[in-house]
Amino acid sequence: MKQPSRGQPKFILDGMLGSLTRWLRLLGFDTLFCETQFDDEILDQTEHRILLTRDKTLLVRAQKLGLTAINPGSGPIQKMLQLLQNTLGICFLGDPNQSRCPQCNSPLILVTQEEIQDRVPKKSLDHHHRFWQCINLQCRKVYWQGRHWTRIQQTLDNLRFPDEEQ
């Protein structure tokens, strides 16, 4: 089986896994999303990435080619992340300084309020002091730890401490 390079795994996901794609990017993993590509095109890009797919035909083809391919299952995102964590022996930490843009997969950098003040709602500027911006010049989306961050942290805490899940 061709293994992805050592270090942090890189992923490639098919069109059925858009939500998981955004989560993996948020968690800092280089993740390609192949929404409209044919199976052959996906397989051509998989050699140094872990393929995540629910498509049984694609999964079998990838495995026959010696590629690392996993069916992450279905259901809540936490269940899929738990399966990946257990299967790959990785830990999802959720460090915003390591995150990638959920939209385009480019790295995010910490920026000052002054740099993004014209692109963020005033209320967010008043309530938050840390902002990250996508380095991709075509994207440049800005992120901050709003109310959604509590839900993200709860999901990650449940992955680390599953017996304490509420």
Residue 140 in this model has a pLDDT that exceeds 70 = yes
The 10s digit of each residue's pLDDT in 71-102 is 999 999 999 999 999 999 998 988 999 999 99
Q: What is the pLDDT of residue 164?
A: 60
Tokens of 32: 């390609």
Alpha carbons 103 and 138: distance in angstroms, whole number: 11
Q: Which residues make Cβ contacts (< 8 Å) with residue 158, sequence separation at least 6?
A: 78, 164, 165
Tens-digit pLDDT profile for residues 13-37:
999 999 999 999 999 999 999 988 8
Give the predicted TM-score (pTM) of the model: 0.90
Q: What does the pLDDT look like over 100-118, one tens digit per residue? A: 999 999 999 999 999 999 9
